[in-house]
Amino acid sequence: MSELGAGTRGASLGFEALRMASFKGDIGFFKKYPVKRVKTLNDRLFKKSTRKFAKRLDGIEEMYRTIEKEVSAVLKNNNFPVVISGDHSNAGGTIAGIKTAYPKKRLGVIWIDAHSDLHSPYTSPSGNVHGMPLATALHDDNLENQNNQPSEETIWHWNELKGSNQRVMHSDLFFIAVRDSEEPEQELMKKHHIPNVTTDELREKGVEAVAKQAREYLKDCDILYISFDVDSMDPSISRGTGTPVPGGITDEEARNLIQHLLEDKRVCCFEMTEINPLLDDRNKMAETAFSILKATINKINKNFS
């Protein structure tokens, strides 16, 4: 579980925290399914990053390639990948892997997150690449809202990360529960009319209606990918994530939302990310996330077997 893109340490321990949570929730759960551990480059965290506007970008580029290869292989074997990642920068590699497996299929992305993750090295205020995965998938530098002057080396690695082709069209992205984004991201969302169902709207409409809205909005897509960042949930549930933001959804809403989204047989991949037990209280976030993960995998087994 790579955490090269995060600003705080601990997300690489998310999977082990889930395993510990399974002792309470279902002790034999992880023995039921094959687990492929992807080798990380987290040892590089012990060296100071020299790239101000895209920290550890060279290592993240390598991780993209590794994740892309693994996700693509699972899909090509006609299996359903459930990705448990460290920080959200890894989602860019997951999306790359889906497109490698299905290069001619139109991919829709349902992004359940407190953050829009649309930054690039040209716009990011922090330089943390976990705020940039969707920009790589959209192949969008957002130069209209440029604030930074990244180095030539950073730009080279960034272009390698994006690849030669746009993997996801702006019209094929659907946000749920996003509530913390900077002005460059907001401008990009406005420009491309990217929808975002807020927590209040989700409660007003109902989870099932929002899931239906997302599926209908992405009706022209051939395949769908769901990315679930645990910080989409409210910090009152648990603060066991690196960037908690008030006003999030509940664990029950998250669980039911994902269940309804999985009714669509076009869903080909699910990812859960940003569980950080070092910021948690007695592994509460992992226990909550495990209950969502278990329900999700049971639904996948039922609908896609």
pLDDT of residue 238: 86
The tokens describing 153, both together, are: 């080396």
Domain count, the chain: 1
**The Cα angle at residue 26 between residues 20 and 28, in degrees rounded to 5:** 90
Cα dihedral 15→18→20→21 (10° resolution): 170
- Say if pTM beats, i.e. exceeds, 0.75: yes
How far apart, in Å, do the first and last CA atoms of the chain sit?
A: 27
Domain-embedded: residue 2: no
pLDDT-flagged residues of the chain (< 70): 305
Domain-embedded: residue 1: no
Asked if residues 157 and 63 have their Cβ atoms less than 8 Å apart, the reply is no
Domain-embedded: residue 266: yes
Q: Please give the residue range of the domain that contains residue 36.
A: 11-42+50-304
pLDDT of residue 84: 98
Domain-embedded: residue 143: yes
pLDDT of residue 50: 83
Domain-embedded: residue 196: yes
| CATH number of residue 239's parent domain | 3.40.800.10
pLDDT of residue 274: 97
Question: Taking phi first (over 0 means left), then psi (-120 to 50 degrees means alpha), and beta for anything else, what does residue 209 get?
Answer: alpha
Domain-embedded: residue 202: yes
